[in-house]
Amino acid sequence: MDITFIFIIGLLIALVGVIPPGLLNMTAAKVSLKEGYNRGVMFSIGVCVIVCVQTYIASIFASYLSNHPDVVDILQRVAFVIFVLITIYYLLIAKKQPKPQLEQSIKSKRSRFFQGMLLSALNVFPIPYQAYMTITLASFGWLTFEPISIASYVAGAAMGTFIMLYVYIFFFDKIKNKNFTTQKNMNYIIGTITGVIAIITLVNIIKEL
């Protein structure tokens, strides 16, 4: 498979994964607004360094799972339950809870690059997400687990993550007063996306029965 095609696939999948407003993209935008564009970009680069590591780990995990389909079946069912629970949380529970005060949780003047690495390392969701996606791509024959193929996919994932963080940095000033950025609507967006993923996972499970 052409490494350029694999790079583009990795880029698009990472873009989709970072679209929902979350800790990393919203922090990148806020850092840029409060401390300047350069600091926002450095924060984003720090995030992408960890994304490279997480995506590589996910690809190794996926390579193992591809040779153990029985384990994949179990994990697929576990993933379905997790996505359903996340959907229920964001659509029904989170909106009833008071908004947490996270604004001042980090006041350090240290490099935003390392802050980006730290927050990205604490966000472990990309590992199961990328593992699931790489297995799916491999089943379609679009991705192999050869080193050059994995390296291209990892590079694409890092670039896709950076592009979406940059989009948040660039446009956040224009949308910060819009309803789109309210916590309630963020919960609805995330809940809807995880709900769609849960439905797709359920369809795959039913097909394999």
Range of the domain at 123: 3-75+109-183
Tell me the chain's radius of gyration from C-alpha atoms: 18
Intervals of the chain under pLDDT 70: 1, 20-21, 68-69, 71-72, 75-76, 90, 94-110, 173-187, 189-191, 193-194, 208-209
Residue 16 lies in a domain: yes
Residue 12 lies in a domain: yes
Looking up tokens 């583009």 gives 8
Residue 139 lies in a domain: yes
Residue 203 lies in a domain: no
What's the half-sphere exposure (Cβ side, CA atoms, 13 Å) at 3?
10
- Could you give the number of structural domains in the chain? 1
Residue 188 lies in a domain: no
Residue 92 lies in a domain: no
**pTM, 2 dp:** 0.67
Closest CA to 151 of 66, 18, 60, 16: 60
9-66 pLDDT, tens digit each: 989 988 887 876 677 887 888 888 788 788 888 999 999 999 999 999 988 888 877 7
Query: How far is Cα 87 from Cα 189, in angstroms, rounded to an integer?
Result: 10
Residue 194 lies in a domain: no
pLDDT at 49: 93
Give me 201's structure tokens. Answer: 């996972």
Contacts of 46 (CB under 8 A, 6+ apart): 111, 112, 113, 114, 115, 116, 117, 118, 120
pLDDT at 102: 43
Query: How far is Cα 183 from Cα 98, in angstroms, rounded to an integer?
Result: 10
Closest CA to 203 of 88, 79, 61, 69: 79
Residue 14 lies in a domain: yes
Residue type for position 52: C
pLDDT at 3: 84
